[in-house]
Amino acid sequence: MTEPAAIVRRPLNSPRAAALAGVLFAVLFTTSLVLLRSSFPDGLTATIGWLDEGATARITVALGIVPFAGIAFLWFMGVVRDGFKDAEDQLFSSVFIGSGLLFLAMVFVSSALAGGIIAAAQIITNADDRSVVVSFGRAIMLQVSNVYALRMAGVLLISLGTMWLRTGVMPRWLAFVTYAVALVLLVVTTLSLWVTLIFPAWVLVVSLLILVQNYRRTHEQPAAA
């Protein structure tokens, strides 16, 4: 009677191409923010004359992009975490994952509020009521995106920069740049949507650096063999 062959379990490695998710997030999220920023006026007390067909179309396109940017961001978080392997610190990793998920949740909430503004403006017929609802919705949307979401992004960067310093997975200069970006996100008080562009710019830099590192490893392994 023959014994069953032993099952060989191989560790699941994340594909190197998954680092492209960060680049995709940066492009999609930036596009969405630019479309939103070009549609909404600067001041909270502005009239709703800006809510024409062109602005509504741009906001609709921006809101359609946000879910795909969120999916790409989840893959980006997975790629960054995979880089630590066994050197991962559970404490800072938990903060990194929690703050990242909260950031993404706040972005979705802010986008849902923007969609609610468009829907409410089309339903409410009274001009005064429409103006109040739209202004209130915009105020909440900006508070969620520029206060709560950016703070969570800052916490994510602090935890990630600390892990990079402790493990040496990424260059030290990137960790210090991450701390600087985190400080800006934590202390910013403006409600301008342009400030949010700092975060996708950071994600783009990190993703490109990961791609460069993976490219070098791929070409160094055959040479070493």
Could you tell me the residue ranges of all domains in the chain? Answer: 18-39+53-214
Q: Residue 114 and residue 117: Cα distance in Å, rounded?
A: 5
Longest CA–CA separation in the chain, Å? 86
Residue tagged 């915009």 (tokens): 138
Q: Residue 94 and residue 112: Cα distance in Å, rounded?
A: 27
Q: What are phi and psi of 103, to 5 degrees?
A: -60, -45
Q: Residue 26 and residue 33: Cα distance in Å, rounded?
A: 10
Instruction: Return the pLDDT at 220.
Output: 64
Tokens linked to 50: 């800006």
Compute the CA torsion angle 130, 135, 138, 143 (nearest 10 deg): -150
Mean pLDDT of 188-209: 83
What's the pLDDT tens digit per position in 119-168? 887 887 787 888 888 888 888 888 888 889 999 999 999 999 999 999 88
For residue 124, the 8-state DSSP code is -
Reported pTM:
0.83
Q: Residue 99 and residue 25: Cα distance in Å, rounded?
A: 17
* Number of residues assigned to the chain: 225
With a cut of 70, say whether residue 46 has pLDDT above it: no
